[in-house]
Amino acid sequence: MRVSTRSLLCPCVCLCPTRPCGPAAPPGRGRPPALPGQRRWERLRAAMSPKGRKLLVDTLTRSAKHFTKSEVECLIKLYDTLVAKASRQFAGAGFDRTVFRDTLYSYFGMTDDMVLDRVFIIFDKDNTGRITVEEWVEGLAPLLRGTLEEKMKYCFAIYDLNGDGYISKKEMFEMLKHSLLIQPGDEEPDEVVKDLVDIALKKMDYDRDGKLSFTDFEKAVRDESLLLEAFGPCLPDLKSTMSFEQKIFREIPKK
């Protein structure tokens, strides 16, 4: 299947599905200026010959680390399906946030909007606003089969909203503010959430600096594994992982 690898030049994570909010890309099939690393990548995808495909699979198997070659093939197939669905709506390579969120919801039952946004941002390493096949496979690796270290890094990245290497109280507040059922006649609802934030901090802030560094987070998770997704579910649970793997990797060809 031939898919064009035109990428939108809009690096902002806006939600506009059809047009970049920057200067409009010329219609037709002109090649926009490539971002670094994109050229090789485009060549690989654009070729779409069996050899090109094989090269892609090899590259991804190496970089994603947790999947076998046949599993990577299946993931690419899935990606293509999703992209095809997306392409029907608009031109462009890869699929965007909406499709991504729908996908994660339908396969993994993940519903929290804020978390899903963060996951998208993490998947989308080059900040193009669209998920390429490389980002797709490499992003799924820690989700489905990550070691504890990888999962910790992943979750920490999700919770660190501004990416400064620390989870601050403000960020915790943002993530937890919808977690509590505020009762009428309670003190200020904000206070209730702030209390919870304090509790979490007390539990996890080992160096007592008022914010969670990765070291703090890691220590806390090693001590109590339930705290891995402390601020919101961002990993698929066992059941959905298993059913996803069963469904998608079902057609692994027997060698």
Partner 1 sequence: MAKQESSMSKEPAHKKNQHVEGAEISGQSQSLHNLTEKTECEKGKTCSTGPTDQRSKPHMKWKSSGISASQSGDKVRKKYSEGEGKSRAGSLTAKKKASGKSKSVKIQETSKCKASISLEDSESSSETDEDEHPVRRQEGGSDLSAEYWGIQKLAKYVKGGDPTATLIALCSMRDFDLSEETCQLAIKDTGCLEVLINLLDTEEIKCQIGSLKILKEISQNILIRHAIADLGGLEIMVKILDSTDTDLKCLAAETIANVARFKRARKTVRKHGGIKKLVELLESISVASSYQVKDTETVRCAALALWSCSKSIKNKKAIRKAGGIPLLARWLKCSHANILIPIVGTLQECASEPSYRLAIRTEGMIETLVKNLSSEHEELQMHCASAIHKCAEDEEIRDLVRKHEGLQPLSALLDKSENKQLLAAVTGAIWKCAMSRENVLKFQEYKTVETLVTLLTDQPEEVLINVIGALAECCQEEENRGTIRRLGGIAPMVTLLTSTNPALLVNVNKAVGGCAMDPENMAIIDSLDGVRLLWSLLKNPNPGVQASAAWALCPCVENAQNSGEMVRSFVAGLELLVNLLKSNDKEVLTSICAAIANIAKDEENLAVMTDHGVVPLLSKLANTNNNKLRRHLAEAIAHCCMWGSNRVAFGEAKAVAPLARYLKSKDPLVHRATAQALYQLSEDPNNCVTMHENGVVKLLLAMVGSTDDILQEAAAGCIANIRRLALATEKAKYG
Burial, 15: exposed, middle or buried (Cβ in 10 Å; 0-12, 13-18, 19+)?
exposed
We find the least distance from the C-beta atom of residue 197 to partner 1, in angstroms, to be 9
Distance separating alpha carbons of residues 126 and 6, to the nearest angstrom: 15
Which x/- pattern, by CB under 8 A, does the window 220-249 give for partner 1?
A: ----x-xx-xxxxx---xxx----------
Which x/- pattern, by CB under 8 A, does the window 72-111 give for partner 1?
A: ---------------------------------x-----x
| 185 binds partner 1 per the rule CB under 8 A | yes
We find the least distance from the C-beta atom of residue 68 to partner 1, in angstroms, to be 23
Which residues are registered as beta bridge partners of 213? 166
Residue span binding partner 1 (CB under 8 A) among the ranges 62-70, 76-84, 139-147, 195-203 = 195-203
Task: Name the residue nearer to partner 1 (CB basis): 11 or 189.
Answer: 189
Task: Name the residue nearer to partner 1 (CB basis): 20 or 232.
Answer: 232
We find the least distance from the C-beta atom of residue 218 to partner 1, in angstroms, to be 15
DSSP structure class, residue 36:
T
Name which of 57, 32, 35 is nearest 44 in CA terms.
57
Name which of 159, 151, 127, 168 is nearest 12 in CA terms.
127
| 174 binds partner 1 per the rule CB under 8 A | no
Beta carbons within 8 Å of 22's beta carbon, 6+ residues apart: 9, 10
User: Which DSSP string do the residues of 85-130 spell out, in sequence order?
Assistant: HHHHHS--SSEEHHHHHHHHHHHH----HHHHHHHHHHH-TT--SE
| 27 binds partner 1 per the rule CB under 8 A | no
Interface residue with partner 1 among 10, 56, 176, 212 (CB under 8 A) is: 176
| 168 binds partner 1 per the rule CB under 8 A | no
Cβ atoms < 10 Å from Cβ of 234? 23
Q: Where along the sequence are the contacts to partner 1 (CB under 8 A)? A: 105, 111-113, 176, 178-181, 183-185, 195-196, 199-200, 202-203, 224, 226-227, 229-233, 237-239
